[in-house]
Structure 1
Amino acid sequence: MHPDLAARFARIALGHVTRDYPHKADHVMTGDADAYIPRVVHPIFFGSFDWHSCVHGYWLLARVRRLFPDGAEAGAIDALFADAFTLDKVEAERAYLDRPASRGFERPYGWAWLLMLASELRVGGSVHADTLQPLADAFVARFRAHLPMLTYPVRAGTHANTAFALVLADRYARVADDSALRGQLASRAREWFAADRAAQAWEPSGEDFLSPVLMEALAMQRLLPPDEFAPWFSAFLPDLVRGEPAALLTPARVSDRSDGKIAHLDGLNLSRAWAMRALAKATGSDVLEDAAERHLAAAIGEVAGDYMGEHWLASFALLALTGVD
């Protein structure tokens, strides 16, 4: 990844993680006292249109700061983090989770991205890693409590996708050396997905930004030993060597980038590129490698412009270019 592109992504994120409005809340009100002002209720993650996009905007900045320590935006990132990651602000974010009405807050997408941010700060040796840890611990506890109750995985191509959350949570578990969490993630992945065969890939849906098929495959690749994953993957996508399912390997077409839901499809192209690259590396698939390059080319130039995409797409572009680790 070129430093100039990393700096461009960082400038995009710096421009929206502290932008108050427009804002889309995931907030349940039980009375007048629950009136919502984003910056008051979420003193760190109030920007970027919604809470989870703000979290992964901070993740983007943390990763760029780690990979390019002498980058042009390093000083601005450091100043932002020093202001954002204070004990009081982290405690306010954590205390929000204590509300009974917040039980389903950002489940599981925001949970997973918060853990990705925490792991990135830890790997980068950031002075803010320990400060954020109480919030990370709260979301780990939520994962541990929720996973046994989730009888069936959510296979949607949007925020509720279970497999995507497993992949990001696994990254945190590896960095934190949390073998109990990783074991739980792997156990549930086997229970949900081990019997899946010959994926039809009836995708994309019109508002997808994740591929249900590729997210499932990526979760299994992350969580299973290689000798267990290889036969599972061969049975899961048995016609891949012949370029099937074609719909899975063809970049999505985006008709209107000012429509927030249709703009999701740019994210689909980027997240598919990320998953395909990772799976190609694990399996040696030239078909996936070629498809990944076509998906990346279709979307890498669309990360800025209309705010409906700009507030989040650069994070997915960085994920496509650098991977989950």
Structure 2
Amino acid sequence: MSVAALPHVRGKLTESAPLAPLVWFKSGGAAQWLFEPKDEEDLVTFLRELDPDVPVMALGLGSNMIVRDGGVPGVVVRLGKAFAKIDKVDDVTLRCGGGASGILVSSTARDAGIAGLEFLRGIPGTVGGFVRMNGGAYGREVQDILVEARVVLRDGTVETWPLDKLGYTYRHSEVPPGATVVEATFRGTPGHPEAIGSEMDAIARAREESQPLRSRTGGSTFKNPPGHKAWVLVDAAGCRGLTMGDAQVSEKHCNFLLNLGSATSADIEALGEEVRRRVLESSGITLEWEIQRIGRE
């Protein structure tokens, strides 16, 4: 697919763009094309005119993702600063761009005296990503605060989806492949900035103490099965510290995989599959991946 075959853009379009620098694991191949739209209109026009057979996927902070070593065919869309704006709708409601981080949203809510969004401080991703996967932490999920989401579908159609249309279940929504969440509206409750800040600080401390945040990791690897904690099952299967190549199950929190330096994405994914095999053997429970795995092996 040559550049001549692609629609004209006002943003940035890069061929064979390395994705490893953009994801937390720092591994994996390149995007056939990386598109960083200038604004929503640029994204809409591009998708409307793009060959419908070309695959499209959105990339946020790359925190919950394995990019396979063969790279990603088609177009990877990355929302930049133009999509990170946050506006106060009323005393308890924020309208947030799809490129805004969880830290930015929760901090803005704190400063505005809006409680209930503190848990977003514990989600290492962007609005677009955690709206798509019903991200959650510390007992709350996106479905608890979402009013509606603005979605650009693969064909360039723009729709506003109310909460019930997203069809949320645990770490899943009905946002279709190829669609990009460009905006979401969140509603909290009245609160005092000092109390909200204290809660956010407590979340930050808890994450620092329990998770390998300063490592090359991908966040929580497996979903918690009903009635169980994934890390407990992984630990009970004897997988804490298990290595494969330069990939390791974290000794600090064994639902996290680490790239110790030179692990390939194949190493990381193979280690995850070995953990799943051992957990099934020891407990009879099949762990489901929470981390998204994309691209060609």
TM-score (structure 1 length as normaliser):
0.24
Instruction: With a CA cutoff of 8 Å and minimum separation of 6, indicate the structure with the bigger relative contact order.
Output: 2
Q: Which has the higher helix share?
A: 1
TM-score (structure 2 length as normaliser):
0.26
